[in-house]
Structure 1
Amino acid sequence: MTPRRLAVSGVSVVALLVIAATFLVSGNAVQVAPPAPEAKVRGMCTALADALPDSVAGLERRDTEPSSPFTAAWGDSAIVLRCGVPRPAEMLDTKAAGGEIRGVRWLLQTSPDGRHRCTTALRKAYVELTLPAKYGDVGALMDLAAAIKKTVPRIQDGAKSS
Structure 2
Amino acid sequence: MTSAHRSFRLFAAAAAFLAAAGCSTTHAAAPVAVPSPPPEEAALCGALHKELPKTVAGQRRTGTEPDSELTAGWGDAAIVLRCGVPRPEKMSDAQSQAVDANGVNWLLEQRVDGPRFTTTYRKTYVEVTMDERYAHDVTPLAELAGAVKKTVPATLEVP
State the TM-score, normalized to the length of structure 1: 0.77
1:72-83 mapped onto 2 (5 Å cutoff):
72-83=72-83
> In the TM superposition, what is the alpha-carbon distance from 1:72 to its structure 2 partner?
0.1
Q: List alignment gaps of at least 5 residues for structure 2.
A: 1-25
CA deviation string 1:21-52 (max 9, x = no partner): xxxxx961111111001112011000000000
Partner of 2:123: 124
Higher relative contact order (CA 8 A, sep 6+): 1
Cα distance in 1 between the residues matched to 2:47 and 2:96: 29
Is the contact between residue 73 and residue 80 of structure 1 (CA under 8 Å) also seen in structure 2? yes
Larger Rg: 2
**Cα distance in 1 between the residues matched to 2:84 and 2:48:** 11
Q: How many residues align?
A: 131
Q: Given that residues 81 and 127 in structure 2 are in contact (C-alpha distance below 8 angstroms), is that contact kept between their aligned partners in structure 1?
A: yes
Secondary structure (helix, strand or coil) at the match of 1:84 reads strand
Structure 1 residue 156, shift from structure 2 partner: 3.5
Identity within the alignment, %: 47
TM-score under structure 2 length normalisation = 0.78
1:87 equivalent in alignment to 2:116 = no
CA deviation vs aligned residue, 1:76-117 (integer Å, no higher than 9, x gap)? 242100000000011111110012111000000111x24100
* Partner SS, residue 43 of structure 1: helix
Provide the secondary structure at the position in 1 that maps to 2:150: helix
Higher share of residues assigned strand: 1
Q: For the aligned residues, what is the CA RMSD?
A: 1.5
Stretch moving more, 142-151 or 113-122: 113-122
